[in-house]
């Protein structure tokens, strides 16, 4: 039998240090996660006596899509101080929906 000459194949390593760029990602994501957690922290509690203010705030954000004042008054009186605070901290309709109101 005749033995063949086989060329040795070498693979060059990538010149871009992929491992280094991947190790930086957690340092970039960590501040974003902390900022999100801080911004989603509990709002300042609002007492039941401030329901009129809460209702006018909801109406200013939801405009014509806001429920009736009597319905919102019932919800406001039944809600916790934290839920009313969440509503007062909301500045967009989607943020209002995230509150436990």
- In tens, the pLDDT along 16-53 reads 555 555 566 666 666 666 666 555 556 899 999 999 99
DSSP annotation of 69: H
The reply to whether the predicted model has a pTM over 0.95 is no
Is the confidence at residue 12, as pLDDT, over 80? no
Q: Which of the two residues, 49 and 98, has the higher pLDDT score?
A: 49
Q: Which of the two residues, 74 and 41, has the higher pLDDT score?
A: 74
pLDDT value at residue 66: 92
d(CA 75, CA 81): 12
* Domain extents in the chain: 48-97
Phi, psi of 75 (to 5 degrees): -65, -40
Phi, psi of 90 (to 5 degrees): -75, 140
Own/partner contacts of 71-74, CB < 8 Å, gap of 24 or more, are none
């Amino acid at each position: 039998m005749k033995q063949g000459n086989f060329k040795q194949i070498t693979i060059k390593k990538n010149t871009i240090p992929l491992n280094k760029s991947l190790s930086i990602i957690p340092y970039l994501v960590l501040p974003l996660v902390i900022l999100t957690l801080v911004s989603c922290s509990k709002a300042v509690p609002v007492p039941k006596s401030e329901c009129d203010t809460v209702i006018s705030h909801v109406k200013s954000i939801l405009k014509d899509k806001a429920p009736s004042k009597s319905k919102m008054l019932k919800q406001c009186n039944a809600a916790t101080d934290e839920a009313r605070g969440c509503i007062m901290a909301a500045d967009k309709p989607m943020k209002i929906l995230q509150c436990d109101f």
